[in-house]
Amino acid sequence: MNSEMKINFEIIDDLCKTMTVINQKVEDNRLKTPGTMNIAEIMNRHHLENQHSNVLSFLIDPKEKHNHKEYGELFLSLLKERGLKLQGNRILSVTREDSTDEARRMDLFIETDSDSIILENKVCAGDQDFQIEDYLTYVENLTETSENVFVVYLTISGKDPSEKSISTEKLQELKDQKRFINLSYSKDILNWLLELKTKNEEDILRAGIIQYIDVVKAISNQRKEVFNMDQAIAKELVNEYRELTREKLKEKMIALYSFQNNINIVLFINFFKDVFQEANGKLILFCKNKDTYDSIEEWENDVITNQEYFGVRYTENNSTIDLFMSDLISNRFVFACKGDKKISSIGSQITFNGYTFASEPANSWFLNAILAMPDNKKNDNLDWERRNKSKLSSHVVKNWFNI
């Protein structure tokens, strides 16, 4: 640790008092905001492509329980307004994930009294190889003429598909023939949803449409009435510090950075203690050149003194595997081995003195994993957590050390 990195506790104390005031202001404003609830978002389903396709299929299909065939007719009108040269006015069927000869599944396949419409829905996922071209070929082979086969490419912002899915030449040909359009959730789908009317007694249907409108606004960043904690804190921070000079702000940032580096050691000590305890005696704690400790407290004291090269070690025959923090200032984790034992790469491979193999886990992922609670379902970087249903220390012991 850099000995010149000293903490200005007066500034830290001032920052803590300021954040206490800001937190209270933000909380007061939050409680004044009208309450809200979105079932899809609470169930963490608002960003999933299949769920969006299910809702769209339900609303477009005149045979569904909403009993409003005009919903589908309004959707056809939208497609025509956006440029598709459709001939049909009546929807005959809406099929979800209709399979092609290549076992691909179209998100939505809409058949009218004269047209076949392929709707490819992309909320988060990327394009697959030749995806749209394969769909097009399959449907064209089923129809008498390709002139009545159309493609709708739906994304959040309304972008075109990539060349991975359809060639530039073929895409332009479809556009020239008015057989292709791109739609956006942010504008096209949202405006269509706002046109859907319900009867006075259709409370459940109305509530469902309102909920889905809210979901579409959420995925396209158009929610304005919902309280945003990050924005509220940022606003209060600007109000508090906007008059400060750059030098004064820099002074506060340096103090905060120095304090963070010092408090990080507590976080990392606890993490390695968890891994050590999860291993049930198969790992040992080490710090710098020492790996024989009579107690965890003795190891902690060495870590506090040295503040570098500390972690857990696994030995087997002539091999040693280490997971350790080499540098607290840069939060540099290293997973490395000496001897004959082979380990798979976890991050970018690096050269580290004295080791036959060394890998550096992606720091942002590793730190997020340490900081996140085990039941955090919103962090996409924690897929291992959902798969293994365990905390990070268990994952490291089982999957990294295989013990």
Q: CA-CA distance, 341 to 316, in Å (whole number)?
A: 8
Query: How long is the chain?
Result: 403
Dist. CA 189–CA 95, nearest whole Å: 19
Give the tokens for residue 372: 């996140």
For 194, the 3-state DSSP assignment is helix
SS3 163: coil
CA distance 237 to 252: 13
pLDDT at residue 348, as a whole number: 73
Domain residue spans of the chain: 9-33+228-243, 49-219, 265-400
* pTM score: 0.60
Q: Are 138 and 102 in contact (CB under 8 A)?
A: yes
The answer to whether residues 228 and 215 touch, using CB atoms and an 8 Å cutoff, is no
Q: How far apart are CA 304 and CA 300, in angstroms?
A: 6
Rounded to whole angstroms, the Cα distance separating 143 from 204 reads 39
Tokens of 316: 């087997």
Query: Running DSSP on this structure, what letter comes out for residue 164?
Result: T
pLDDT at position 46: 66
The Cα–Cα gap between 288 and 302 comes to 9
Residue from 122, 112, 118, 123 nearest 77 by CA = 112
As a whole number of angstroms, the distance between CA 56 and CA 118 comes to 13
Which pLDDT belongs to residue 379?
46
Helices 229-241 and 9-32, axial angle in degrees (round to 10): 130
Q: What are phi and psi of 347, to 5 degrees?
A: -140, -150
Locate 326 and state its tokens. Answer: 């080499």
Is 357 in contact with 343 (CB distance < 8 Å)?
yes
Tell which residue, 121, 133, 117, has the closest CA to residue 166: 133
3-state per-residue secondary structure call for 73-124 = HHHHHHHHHCCCCCCCCCEEEEEEEEECCCCCEEEEEEEECCCEEEEEEECC
Instruction: Enumerate residues 6+ apart whose C-beta is below 8 A from 361.
Output: 333, 335, 346, 347
Using only the alpha carbons of the chain, give its radius of gyration: 29
Give residue 386's pLDDT: 47
Instruction: Give φ, ψ of 259 to 5 degrees.
Output: -65, -40
Residue bearing tokens 């268990």 = 394
Residue 147 DSSP one-character state:
G
Cα–Cα distances in angstroms (integers) from residue 290 to residues 86, 98, 207, 277, 335, in the given order? 76, 63, 65, 19, 18
Give the pLDDT of the chain (403 residues) as one tens digit per residue: 444 456 788 898 999 999 999 999 999 988 888 877 778 777 776 667 888 999 999 999 999 999 999 999 999 999 999 999 998 899 999 999 877 666 678 889 999 999 999 999 988 777 777 788 888 888 888 887 788 899 999 999 999 988 888 999 999 999 999 999 999 999 999 999 999 999 999 999 999 999 999 999 988 888 877 777 888 899 999 999 999 999 999 999 888 888 877 788 898 999 999 999 999 999 999 999 899 999 999 999 999 998 889 999 999 888 899 999 987 777 788 898 888 766 666 667 778 878 888 888 766 667 777 766 554 444 444 454 444 456 788 888 888 888 8
DSSP letter assigned to residue 290: B
Q: Which residues pair with 96 in a beta bridge?
A: 108
Contact 329, 348 (CB under 8 A): no
H or E stretch at 98: strand 91-99
